[in-house]
Chain A
Amino acid sequence: KQEVTQIPAALSVPEGENLVLNCSFTDSAIYNLQWFRQDPGKGLTSLLLIQSSQREQTSGRLNASLDKSSGRSTLYIAASQPGDSATYLCAVRRSNYQLIWGAGTKLIIKP
């Protein structure tokens, strides 16, 4: 059974720091892995999608990596800003139209 774990559950850092969020999964048979952010009371915004054949994806200050063999993905945020404060979710897509979700990392960036 595929399980997805996100560490840490919460993170508070000063503005300007670079930070890494972690996502691990137990079954390497995945189609892709997607990182989302969710602001309080809002919907989910897709940040980065990494296909199973890819090693990383980049968008602006965000970089996501994928190591299928070890069952890990990281989301790197450079030069963090207060606007980056949100809950970050990773989700692994299996072959049968199902996303397996991590519980999320709540990120607070202090001005």
Chain B
Amino acid sequence: NAGVTQTPKFQVLKTGQSMTLQCAQDMNHNSMYWYRQDPGMGLRLIYYSASEGTTDKGEVPNGYNVSRLNKREFSLRLESAAPSQTSVYFCASSEWSGGGYTFGSGTRLTVV
């Protein structure tokens, strides 16, 4: 099915470990996004990429880095995981500034 694919779906990390969350879309969208969702906090934007070759900070970028590998792929890296980064992470894409968003199914990350 066409859409946004995230891997892995679940992950448990120890404090200080690093990992990369992968995201790929096959809709030829220009823009891609990483969000985190926490109970009572709603969805918060971590980083976004308006187009291939560009990335920008969102609302909560500290502790994360991103790479827009090509038009299809946008990865999120945690260099040194902290318990505060326990969350559900969603990747999304959109076609243009006025278009709608398509979300992936999420990655549930626990940092112990």
Interface, chain A (partner B; CB < 8 A)? 31-32, 34, 36, 41-46, 49, 51-52, 89, 91, 93, 95, 97-99, 101, 103-104
Contact = CB atoms under 8 A, between A and B. Distances in A.
B50 A101 contact: no
Contacts of A52: 98
A93 B92 CA distance: 14
Given A31-B97, A97-B31, A43 B42 contact: no
Size category of the binding interface on chain B: 20 to 34
Contact of A43 (B50, B97, B105): B105
B101 A43 contact: no
Given A32-B98, A32-B99, A34-B101, 13 more contacts: A31-B98, A32-B100, A34-B100, A36-B103, A43-B105, A43-B106, A44-B90, A46-B102, A51-B98, A52-B98, A93-B97, A93-B98, A97-B33
Contacts, number: 47
B50 to A, nearest CB: 6
Secondary structure of the B contact surface, majority rule: strand
Interface of B: 31, 33, 42-43, 45, 48, 50, 56, 58, 90, 97-106, 108
5 contacts: A32-B100, A34-B100, A49-B99, A97-B31, A97-B33
A51 B96 CA distance: 12
Contacts of B104: 43
B98 A43 contact: no
Contact of B45 (A43, A44, A99, A103): A99
A98 B90 contact: no
A103 B37 CA distance: 11
A101 B101 contact: no
B90 A43 contact: yes
B100 A101 contact: no
Contact of B42 (A45, A98, A103): A103
Contact of A98 (B45, B103, B108): B45
B28 to A, nearest CB: 17
A90 to B, nearest CB: 12
